[in-house]
Chains A and B, each alone.
Chain A
Amino acid sequence: MTLHDLVQQLIYGLSVGATYALIALGYTMVYGTLRLINFAHGDVYMVGAVVGFYIATWLAAHGAAVWLMLVLVFAGATVACSVLGYAIERFAYRPLRNRPRLVLLITAIGVSLLLENAFQLKWVFGPTHQYYPQPIKTALLYPIGLLGLTRLDVLSLFLSLALVGVLTWIVLATRTGLALRAVSFRFDTATLMGINTDRIISFTFVFGSGLAAVAGVLNAIRYQVEPLMGIMWGLKAFIAAVLGGIGSVPGALLGGLLLGIIETLLRGVFLPQQYTGYADAAAFVILILILLIKPSGLVGRTAQEKV
C-alpha cells in the first residue's frame, strides 16, 4: 500500500461520500422540521436519475453537446424532483400532519413502495438497468491526470460543497432560514409567531428533493439507472445523516463524506480481499455503534426530551 494508493482510495471515498451527503441533507432537513424520517427520499433520488436519463437520451439522440446535456440533465432532474417532493408532502404527508408520528412513517414507506414499483412498469421505466449516453460517461468518468481523479469526482465534490454552502446561507442569513430554524426549534410556537409553517415545510421538501436529484444524476452517470437504486443508497445516506447528527446541516455533510471514506478504505485497504464483500455491512455496524455510543451524532446537540 503506497501513499499514492491511499490518496486514490480517499478520492473514491470522497466522491461516493459527496452523494451520500447530498441525500443525507434531505433526510436531515425534513427530520429537522417535521421529526419525520422520510423513507421515500431514496426513491426521489431514483426519480432524479430516471428523469435525467430520459433528458440525456433524448438530447443525445438529437446530437446535443455534452456540456449542454449536463446542464439540462441536472436542471431538469432537479426541477422534476422538487415538484415531486412538493407533491409528496402536499398530498401524502400534510393531510396526516396531526396524526400520530407512526401514521406518517408508514405513509412514507407506502410512498416509497409506490415509487419503486411504479417505476418498474415497462411504460414508466422498466425493471432492467440502463446507462446514460456514452458521450456523458466518456467525458466525465475517465481520469484527467494524476491520482485517478475524474471530472465526475471533482463535480460531485464541488456540487455537494457548493449546495451545502447555499443551504447554510439560506438557513443562517435569510428570512426563510430564520423561519426554518424557528419551526425546527418549536413547531407550535413558530405557528403562533405568525410563521407559515406549511410553506416552510414545503420548502424543506422542495430543496431536499432537488439535492437528491443532483445525487441521483451523479450516481446514474457513475453507475447505472434502475428503479431500485434508491433503496440501499438512500438507507446509507440516512445512516450518514444519523452519523453526522440528524437535523444538522454540517452534520449531514460530515457524515456523508465520512461514510464514503470508511466504506472505500475498508474495501481497498483494511479488509482482506476475500472479505471485501462485507464492506457494505459497515454502514449498519456504524449505525448500531453511533446509536449506542452517541445517539445525537457527531455534531448534533443532545436535546432535552420535552415532556
Chain B
Amino acid sequence: MRFKPAWVLAAVMMIAAGCKQKQNTNEIVVGEFASLTGATASFGQSSHEGLVLALEQINAQGGVLGKQIRVITEDDASDANQAVNVVQKLVNSNNVCAVIGEVASKRSLAGGGVCDQYHCPMLSPASTNPDVTVENGKVKPYVFRICFTDTFQGRIDGKFAAGQNWKKVAVMTNVDEDYSKGLSNSFKKAFAGSGEIVAEESYSGDTKDFKSQLSRIRDKSPDAVYVAGYYNEVGLILPQAKQVGLNVPFFGGDGWDSPQTVKLPEAQGDFYSDHFSPEDPGPEVQKFVKAYQAKYGKTPDAMAVLGYDSMRVIADAIKRAGKPDRQAITGALAQTKNFPGASGTITIDAEHNARKPIVILQIKNQTATLYKTYPPE
C-alpha cells in the first residue's frame, strides 16, 4: 500500500480532537488529591468523605455562579512522588481552577510546589507543618490552609504537658515526615522551660518494631511520652509500649486522629491535640455532625470536618472571585474573612494560615472526648 501522508494527518488530527478535554461550560472543575490508599489512608478517606458531603450540599443549593461544581479526585497512595504526578495531571490535563489537598504535610509540600509553579491555587485542609505555606520566610503565593500550624500546636502540647504536671517527657519522632520533625521540634522548644526531655527516640515510616526504642525510653522512667507521629505509627507504638512494660500516658498531635486510634484498647486514657471535637455544641458543628452521620452512619473525625470546610471555603472563594479563574480565586482565598466553618471561624492571615483554637481530646470508652480547649494565639 502506498503511504498516504494525508490519511495519517487526518488520523492524527482525529485522535488529537478526541483527546482534547471537553470543557463543559456549565460546570466548574475543582481538583482534589488525597491519600485514599496506602499507609495513611484513613486521612484521605475521611477528608474525601467530608469534601463530598460539602459538594453535594453546595450543588443541591444550585452550585456557585449558577454552575454546578465537579470535583476530580486523584489518589496519591500516601506517597509524595505520586502526589506530584496527580497534581500535575489535575492542573495541566484536567485544567482545574483550584486544588484541594492534602492532609499529610509532606504531600502538601510536594503538591504545593506544583501548584505554585503553574499558578493554580491550592487549599490544604489539614497540613500543619509551617513550611507548607511559608518556606524560608517567603509566603508561597498560591498555597493556603484552613488549619493552624505546628508552631502553635507544639506550643499548646508543651503547655498541656506542663499543665498535667509531667516533669520528664520522652519524645518520639518519625524522621521521614516533615510533619513529625516540625511538630516534635516545636514541642521540645515549648516544653523545655517547664520540664526535662529525658529521651528523644526516632523511627522511620517503615519501622514496625519499636520495642528497642520503647525499652530504652522505659529505662529513663518518663512521666509521659510524646509521639509526634501519624495514627498508623501510633497503632504500632502504643501496644508495643505496654508489652515492654512502659505504662505511662502517651500523647501527641492531630496526626493521631483516626477511627483506628480511638478503637485501640492500649490507647484508652491517652491524649492528643486536634482541630475539632464533635461534642462542640456550636450550631455549625452540630449541623455538620448530623449531616455527616446521616450520610455515612459514623461520627466524623477532624480530617472529615476539615475536608468539608475546605470544599466550602473554595466554593465561597469562587463565588467572591466572580469567575472560575485561577488568579481571581487565589486573590479571593487570601481575603477569606470570618468564614463560618464547621471546624471554627476561618480567616486566612497574611501567611496563608488560619488561626483557630486547639482542642485536647482524651480517648475514653473508644471515643475521643473533649478534655480542654485552647484559644488561638
Contacts and interface: CB of A to CB of B under 8 A. Distances in A.
Q: Do A and B come from one complex?
A: yes
Interface string A223-244: 1101111001100000000000
Interface stretch (A63-71, A100-108, A177-185, A274-282): A274-282
Contacts of A219: 208
B174 A277 contact: yes
B207 A280 contact: yes
A232 B206 contact: yes
B209 A148 contact: no
Contact of B45 (A128, A142, A222, A264): A128
B200 A127 contact: no
Contacts of B264: 131
A276 B202 contact: yes
Given A273-B201, A277-B174, A148 B232 contact: no
B38 A127 contact: yes
A16 B239 contact: no
A5 interface: yes
B213 A268 contact: yes
B202 A268 contact: no
B209 A120 contact: no
B204 A268 contact: no
B203 interface: yes
B56 interface: no
Nearest to A232: B206
Contact of A143 (B206, B212, B245): B245
Interface residues of B, number: 39
Given A127-B36, A127-B45, A223-B236, A278 B208 contact: no
Contact of A12 (B174, B209, B258): B209
- Which residue of A9, A142, A278, A280 has the most chain B CB atoms within 10 A of its CB atom? A280
B303 interface: no
Given A9-B212, A137-B239, A148-B244, A129 B232 contact: yes
- Main secondary structure, interface of A, reads helix
Given A127-B41, A128-B42, A233-B208, A273 B244 contact: no
A277 B173 contact: yes
Interface in B204-243: 204, 206-209, 211-213, 215-216, 219, 232, 235-236, 239, 242-243
Nearest to A227: B37
A228 B175 contact: no
B42 A264 contact: no
B211 A120 contact: no
Contacts of B37: 117, 120, 127, 227
Contacts of A276: 201-203, 212-213
- Main secondary structure, interface of B, reads mixed
- Which residue of A129, A137, A269 has the most chain B CB atoms within 10 A of its CB atom? A129
Interface in B1-54: 36-39, 41-42, 45
B176 interface: yes
B42 A277 contact: no
A134 interface: yes
B208 A223 contact: yes
B376 interface: no
Contacts of B244: 148
Contacts of B216: 268, 273
B98 interface: no
A12 B211 contact: yes
Contacts of B176: 277
A129 B202 contact: no
B260 interface: yes
A128 B212 contact: no
Given A273-B200, A276-B201, A148 B206 contact: no
Interface of B: 36-39, 41-42, 45, 173-176, 199-204, 206-209, 211-213, 215-216, 219, 232, 235-236, 239, 242-245, 258, 260, 264-265
* Nearest 5 Cβ contacts at the A-B interface: A268-B212, A127-B41, A277-B202, A277-B175, A267-B212
Given A127-B38, A134-B265, A264-B209, 17 more contacts: A127-B36, A128-B41, A128-B260, A141-B243, A148-B215, A224-B236, A228-B39, A232-B206, A264-B212, A267-B212, A268-B211, A268-B213, A273-B199, A273-B213, A273-B216, A278-B204, A280-B207
